[in-house]
């Protein structure tokens, strides 16, 4: 690439019983009790059934962090594909009986059987210094990944890191384990997803916590009504995959966040969509326009942005902009090119940033930066959006849906309830709305709670604490009503059954 060479020059108890040994009778009793209790089960306060870790796995289990990391054992040991295995909440431990050294222990690749799919760049969070099998490992997950011996026990990544709005977490799926961190954690502590619970399914009497439960279809639906309005951009696939459902923004515009850009349009004129000024929204520092010093002989084009002053744009970037709608789409450059990392050079424009990847083959070196993911991560943590004043929420204008995670649930287990509110005229989510929940209990008393504001996808969730005083067979009837000052309330009703281990 000419501009690279001529202008933009780049600047790392094992017990052994011997024959004829006399052993006190009391010791034999103790030993037999220990052996008989190895597979014993116990029931936790939440109604979940756990087991002792099989003696064969104990040292391996503790090496990987024991219960704190892998969770309790949720099955007895069993045979799978000639291996001896046992489920914990987060993994499936196995050993090969034909091997005698330490390599006989391994984690079964549960992730490969769960149907996870990866769309390149779908939610590949921008930070990621290590790439395995062509997939970037999220930087926040790297310490735990390396602590657990990387590919040896965690396995190769199956998907990019992605934002799961319904469970409010960042997650990434690997062959043998899944990692996640909560939006609400300031310290971004990393946990393991409940692979074992998901894979064992009904064979294990254990319900994963809402935070750690595996959700295969956690990505936003790919309804993309705004893309037709960007037809002048040509190939719109360059903006990446949708990270949110379309939603109504605070200024009344319909908006959707993609991996690399934010698309918006008037709800009354979706045929004329544009890109939000992403650089400004992310507070990216702008450079100071200067006089022209170089031209096409140096591999650049000069873009004047302030009188005769402006910025030098590499020919490769200029070609990309011209082929994708011109300055009307990109906006003016706001800085000169700079070296982003060892193999990447970046230049930001008002509406998106462009990266030049020197380690990629021809035709794939210029790509839009995944800044939409960064923006989505920020608004997922704290959204201040509200319903436009011009829109009235009534039973005629919106639809409210409420669902529970479990239609049958033990009395001593927590329930999760989700709501979603959408407009009836265009089926688009509404953000910034709260709702009240009331549950009529069998004794006719009422349990009340309030949902947090709906997010960008029009959804909100809450955890209903376990109701230990209830009995199997009792039905709980609930009602959810939007917390709006309107004459006719917007409500929905449903029920679920108390049933299961107590």
Q: Are residues 266 and 131 in the same domain?
A: no
Angle at CA of residue 155, ends 154 and 156, nearest 5°:
130
The answer as to whether 23 is a domain residue is: no
Q: What is the largest CA-CA distance in the chain?
A: 101
Regions of the chain with pLDDT less than 70: 1-40, 43-47, 117-128, 165-168, 184, 186, 216-223, 245, 247-248, 250, 252, 377-391, 426-427, 455-457, 485-487, 501-502
Asked which of 354, 381, 408 is the last residue of a domain, the reply is 381
Q: Are residues 416 and 361 in the same domain?
A: no
pLDDT of residue 44: 64
Q: Are residues 406 and 476 in the same domain?
A: yes
Asked which of 381, 408, 436 is the last residue of a domain, the reply is 381
Q: Are residues 279 and 375 in the same domain?
A: yes
The answer as to whether 253 is a domain residue is: yes
Q: Are residues 297 and 370 in the same domain?
A: yes
The answer as to whether 2 is a domain residue is: no
pLDDT of residue 155: 95
The answer as to whether 5 is a domain residue is: no
Q: What does the H/E/C string look like for 193-253? A: CCHHHHHHHHHCCCCCCCCCCCCCCCCCCCCCCCHHHHHHHCCHHHHCCECCCCEECCCCC
Q: How many Å apart are CA 145 and CA 161, to the nearest integer?
A: 13
Domain range spanning residue 340?
Answer: 221-381
pLDDT per residue as tens digits for the range 365-380: 999 998 888 787 666 5
pLDDT of residue 298: 94
**Which residue has 């031209």 as its token pair?**
295
Q: Are residues 212 and 231 in the same domain?
A: no
Q: Are residues 160 and 95 in the same domain?
A: yes
The answer as to whether 70 is a domain residue is: yes
- Return the half-sphere exposure (C-beta side, CA atoms, 13 A cut-off) of residue 164: 26
**Tokens coding 328:** 């009307």
Asked which of 176, 202, 219 is the last residue of a domain, the reply is 219
**Which residue has 């990392």 as its token pair?**
341
Q: How many Å apart are CA 183 and CA 168, to the nearest integer?
A: 6
**Tokens coding 143:** 């310490």
CA-based torsion, 329, 377, 169, 493: positive or negative:
negative
Q: What is the Cα gyration radius of the chain? A: 28
pLDDT of residue 3: 42
The answer as to whether 8 is a domain residue is: no
> What's 457's domain CATH number?
2.60.40.1930
Q: Are residues 140 and 246 in the same domain?
A: no
Report the b/e string of 112-140 with b at 16+ CB within 10 A.
eeeebebeebbbbbbebeeeeeebbbbeb
Q: Are residues 186 and 84 in the same domain?
A: yes
Q: Are residues 370 and 442 in the same domain?
A: no
Q: Are residues 60 and 192 in the same domain?
A: yes
Q: Are residues 337 and 441 in the same domain?
A: no
The answer as to whether 148 is a domain residue is: yes
pLDDT of residue 118: 59
Angle at CA of residue 35, ends 88 and 53, nearest 5°:
10
Number of domains within the chain: 3
pLDDT of residue 211: 81
The answer as to whether 469 is a domain residue is: yes
């Amino acid at each position: 690439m000419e501009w690279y060479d001529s202008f933009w020059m780049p600047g790392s108890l094992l017990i052994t019983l011997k024959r004829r040994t006399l052993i006190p009778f009391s010791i034999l009793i103790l030993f037999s009790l220990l052996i008989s209790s190895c597979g014993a089960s116990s029931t936790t306060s939440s109604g979940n059934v756990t087991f002792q870790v099989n003696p064969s796995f104990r040292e391996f289990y503790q090496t990987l962090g024991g219960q704190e990391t892998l969770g309790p054992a949720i099955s007895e040991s069993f045979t799978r594909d000639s291996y001896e295995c046992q489920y914990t909440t987060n993994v499936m431990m196995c050993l090969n009986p034909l091997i005698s050294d330490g390599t006989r222990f391994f984690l079964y690749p549960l992730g490969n059987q769960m149907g996870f799919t990866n769309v390149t760049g779908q939610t590949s969070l921008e930070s990621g210094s290590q790439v395995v099998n062509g997939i970037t490992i999220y930087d926040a997950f790297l310490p735990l990944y390396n602590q657990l011996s990387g590919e040896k026990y965690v396995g190769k990544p199956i998907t990019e890191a992605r934002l799961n709005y319904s469970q409010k977490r960042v997650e990434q799926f690997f062959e043998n384990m899944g990692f996640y961190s909560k939006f609400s954690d300031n310290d971004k502590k990393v946990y393991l997803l409940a692979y074992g619970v998901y894979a064992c399914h009904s064979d294990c009497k254990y319900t994963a916590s809402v935070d750690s439960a595996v959700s295969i279809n956690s990505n936003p639906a790919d309804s993309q009504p705004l893309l037709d309005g960007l037809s002048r951009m040509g190939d719109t696939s360059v903006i990446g995959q949708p990270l949110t459902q379309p939603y109504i923004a605070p200024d009344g515009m319909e908006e959707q966040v993609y991996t690399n850009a934010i698309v918006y349009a008037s709800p009354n004129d979706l045929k004329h969509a544009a890109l939000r000024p992403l650089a400004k929204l992310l507070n990216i520092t702008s450079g100071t326009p200067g006089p022209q010093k170089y031209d096409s002989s140096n591999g650049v084009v000069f873009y004047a942005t302030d009188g005769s002053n402006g910025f030098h744009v590499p020919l490769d970037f200029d070609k990309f902009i011209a082929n994708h709608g011109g300055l009307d789409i990109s906006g003016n450059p706001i800085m000169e090119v700079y070296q982003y990392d060892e193999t990447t050079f970046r230049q930001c424009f008002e509406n998106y940033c462009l990266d030049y990847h020197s380690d990629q083959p021809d035709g794939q070196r210029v790509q839009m930066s995944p800044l939409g993911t960064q923006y989505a991560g920020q608004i997922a943590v704290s959204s201040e959006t509200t319903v436009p004043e011009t829109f009235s929420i009534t039973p005629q204008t919106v639809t409210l849906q409420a669902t529970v995670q479990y239609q049958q649930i033990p009395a001593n287990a927590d329930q999760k309830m989700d709501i979603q509110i959408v407009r009836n005229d265009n089926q688009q989510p509404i953000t910034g709305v709260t709702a009240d929940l009331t549950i009529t209990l069998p004794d006719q008393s009422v349990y009340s709670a309030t949902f947090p504001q709906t997010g960008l996808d029009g959804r909100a969730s809450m955890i209903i604490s376990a109701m230990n005083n209830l009995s199997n067979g009792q039905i709980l009837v609930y009602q959810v009503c939007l917390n709006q000052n309107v004459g006719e309330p917007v409500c929905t009703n449903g029920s679920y059954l108390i049933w299961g281990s107590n």
